Amino acid sequence: MKISDLSESQLLALFLPIIDEHNQRVAQRQQGESPVLTLGPGDDCAVLNLLQGKTVMTIDTQTENQDFRRVWASGYESGGYDVGWKASVQNLGDIAAMGAQPQTLLVSLSLPGDVESDWVKDFARGICDSTLAQGADFCTIAGGDLGRSSEISVTVTAVGSSSGEPVRRDSATPGDVLAVAGSLGAAACGLDLLETPQQQLEELDDYQRFFTGQTRPAGALCYGLVAAQSAHAMMDISDGLLRDAGRIARASGIGINIDSQKLAAFFEPLRPAAACVSAWGGKQESPEQILLRWVATGGEDHAMLAAFAPDRVPTGFTVVGRCGSEFAPEAPVTVDGRVFDRSGWDHFSG
Amino acid sequence: MKISDLSESQLLALFLPIIDEHNQRVAQRQQGESPVLTLGPGDDCAVLNLLQGKTVMTIDTQTENQDFRRVWASGYESGGYDVGWKASVQNLGDIAAMGAQPQTLLVSLSLPGDVESDWVKDFARGICDSTLAQGADFCTIAGGDLGRSSEISVTVTAVGSSSGEPVRRDSATPGDVLAVAGSLGAAACGLDLLETPQQQLEELDDYQRFFTGQTRPAGALCYGLVAAQSAHAMMDISDGLLRDAGRIARASGIGINIDSQKLAAFFEPLRPAAACVSAWGGKQESPEQILLRWVATGGEDHAMLAAFAPDRVPTGFTVVGRCGSEFAPEAPVTVDGRVFDRSGWDHFSG
């Protein structure tokens, strides 16, 4: 059944029971403590008893054909589950990057009439499952909005609480090391394979496993919490390591040098996929060039990128660079001491 | 200049100074008190010191050609200022309907490449100006997201604080009166005129003044705060009086009867416009029928609709009906004791 066959209340009747069940499970897990969400979806607003301390908030939109496709060149179909999953990872990545605990999500879904009603149920399941898979056991879905559009558009607001001072991106200091926790390059690898015609992929063993880096990224929520104690600066990598490292460098007024040798640790799991993409592209890029592109400039992994004093790097973080005192506005980030010419994803250029 | 000619950071450089100036003015107004917004746009998350008490939150999306048109049949062009204005009113209406004080907004803007860069600046000004015009003097813009899309889509999350218990919609009781504060029918009137060809409008004196009911609704934020002390139940009228009264009735398990005589108070300012629309439609609807349709079923006025004990109706509210003990699931709301057959706006049906 298409959603154009349903009234708004019929559509809500598909969506809300999944959300309500999720919220009830969260409340059960909190047994004994007073619940954060005291009034869930259904009124003008949700009502929350947020944890004491600072509140952190972010908002992010995914749009069809910009951030995902319903059907990719590879034949893979991104369903509601994928889109819901990623919406949660994107937003909780921002909460984690402040060193904060996720509290709740608000979800707005704009849909064309030709979307199947199952898509909406899958979306609800995807966002709930992803939240749990990331370890956000106490994160409810407080409310939302449903409307019509000519392309799928999903906006999520995430709210978190921080008992201490949230970790900003403007406080890296010279002498810090720059370290990453989570996947790097997996989302870009998945994107390239999703955009590769299916017949080119058949050489690649179990190729669908690489799609998930793009369609259902793992996120790095737990690492954000681990790093909150010692990180001088932190952000999540949504637009690529070099571009996002540049943001820490600019905000902190420092220079950052990335050691390409250290990035090689992220190459290994992606190597078979890089060989496949290189062959398809007529080898205009070598597999090594592709791996470096994915790992250094690929966005959407939502790994944690943080600056630490060299002796205070937490378990799970891999040191990939170093912060220096010289800030060069035109090239705040270098790779092996040189300017690198591919600098990640810009939503507007080109 | 079109936004396709700009990079993401160039676009942000147009948008953020307007938001930052707004936030600075809010901070100046709060002189002496510790600011709610301690870190504004630019990091992964905004950081807030929310006021003590319950936090209320809502999210709402406006999509081009669903919620507004860039160019209407009347020739009127809805600019960024209108869209920003309405986004603020929609969301603050939900905060007000809980009896809460607005604290901050988060804004996500998805835009096609052919949108003029001035649209984006106008949007930022519209949302800031609207917030102030509604009396939300301490409401900041904490953060946002900018992305590409094939149609304009604007999502706003609003956050409020309530020192007491937020006013829900499920607590109206038999014997309560139902009352409205703010405009009723002005948004529907504006919509009908915006959709009327310009040559039909020229008979109507200063016809553009009616557009603003739809393009720049006034909202009723202050009435929500006034009603918080005594309202048993409250919501904002976003989908029409009858439809939204039905929601209070269903949630509270009561019946509501609207007195059509009381609605006439809202007819007067709209009467010249109703005559114009009636004439254009070949008088298939009489002016009186049009007025009743606008006032009883028109959405988007964001007036406050609340149930009070009869002796506790605050100044500014007009009693339009009464709550009875009998709940009829098929017709929870009657008009003059009879079922009314036009029941407001459904985002999905038709």
Superfamily designation of domain B6-162: PurM-like, N-terminal domain (3.30.1330.10)
Contacts of B51 in chain A (CB under 8 A): none
pLDDT for position A347: 52
Confidence bin at B34 (pLDDT 50/70/90): confident
The predicted model gives B100-114 an average pLDDT of 97
pLDDT for position A342: 62
Best of B8, B19, B45, B106 to disrupt the A interface (most A CBs within 10 Å) is B45
CB contact under 8 A, B48 and A56: yes
Statement: residue A153 has pLDDT above 80: yes
What does the alpha-carbon distance between residue B116 and residue B291 come to, in Å, rounded to a whole number?
Answer: 37
Confidence bin at A344 (pLDDT 50/70/90): low
Best of B5, B44, B91, B347 to disrupt the A interface (most A CBs within 10 Å) is B44
The predicted model gives B140-149 an average pLDDT of 96
Is residue B8 marked as binding? no
B267-279 confidence digits (pLDDT tens): 999 999 999 999 9
pLDDT for position B350: 35
A188-198 confidence digits (pLDDT tens): 999 999 999 99
- Assess contact for B185 and B302: CB atoms under 8 A: no
Is residue B336 marked as binding? no
Statement: residue B244 has pLDDT above 70: yes
The predicted model gives B92-111 an average pLDDT of 98
Fold: same for B6-162 and B177-335 = no
Contacts of A110 in chain B (CB under 8 A): 61, 63, 66, 153
Give the residue extent of every domain in chain B: 6-162, 177-335
Rounded alpha-carbon distances, angstroms, from residue A122 to A14, A279, B128, B227: 10, 35, 37, 40
Report yes or no: A170 at the B interface, CB cutoff 8 Å: yes
Confidence bin at A350 (pLDDT 50/70/90): very low
Is residue B170 marked as binding? no
Dihedral, B192, B198, B203, B204 alpha carbons, nearest 10: 40
Contacts of B157 in chain A (CB under 8 A): 57, 59, 106, 157
Instruction: Give the distance, in angstroms, between the CA of residue B180 and the centroid of all CA atoms in the same chain.
Output: 14
B174-202 confidence digits (pLDDT tens): 999 999 999 999 999 999 999 999 999 99
A321-333 confidence digits (pLDDT tens): 999 998 888 889 9
A vs B: CB pairs below 8 A: 221
Higher-pLDDT residue of A347 and B25 is: B25
Is residue B300 marked as binding? yes
Is residue B69 marked as binding? no
A245-278 confidence digits (pLDDT tens): 999 999 999 999 999 999 999 999 999 999 999 9
The predicted model gives B105-124 an average pLDDT of 97
In this structure, CATH architecture of domain A7-162 = 2-Layer Sandwich (3.30)
Statement: residue B160 has pLDDT above 60: yes
Higher-pLDDT residue of B260 and B282 is: B260
pLDDT for position B347: 52
Burial class (CB in 10 A: 0-12, 13-18, 19+), A184: buried
What distance in Å separates residue A131's CA from the closest CA in chain B? 18
Report yes or no: A13 at the B interface, CB cutoff 8 Å: no
CATH of A177-335, one of 3.90.650.10, 3.10.129.10, 3.30.465.10, 3.10.20.30: 3.90.650.10
Pick from B56, B155, B236: which is nearest to A47 by CB? B56
Q: Please report the beta strands in B35-100, taking only residues with DSSP state E, as ranges in sequence order.
A: 37-39, 46-48, 54-63
ipTM of the complex: 0.93
Report yes or no: A34 at the B interface, CB cutoff 8 Å: no
- Assess contact for B124 and A30: CB atoms under 8 A: no
Statement: residue B349 has pLDDT above 50: no
CA-nearest residue to A345 within chain B is B8
Percentage with pLDDT > 90 across chain A: 89
pLDDT for position B326: 87
DSSP class of residue A314 equals: P
What distance in Å separates residue A272's CA from the closest CA in chain B? 32
Statement: residue A152 has pLDDT above 80: yes
Is residue B61 marked as binding? no
Report yes or no: A59 at the B interface, CB cutoff 8 Å: yes
The predicted model gives B104-122 an average pLDDT of 97
**Average per-residue pLDDT for chain B:** 94
User: At which residue do the structure tokens 């930052």 appear?
Assistant: B20
- Assess contact for A57 and B45: CB atoms under 8 A: yes
What distance in Å separates residue B232's CA from the closest CA in chain A? 14
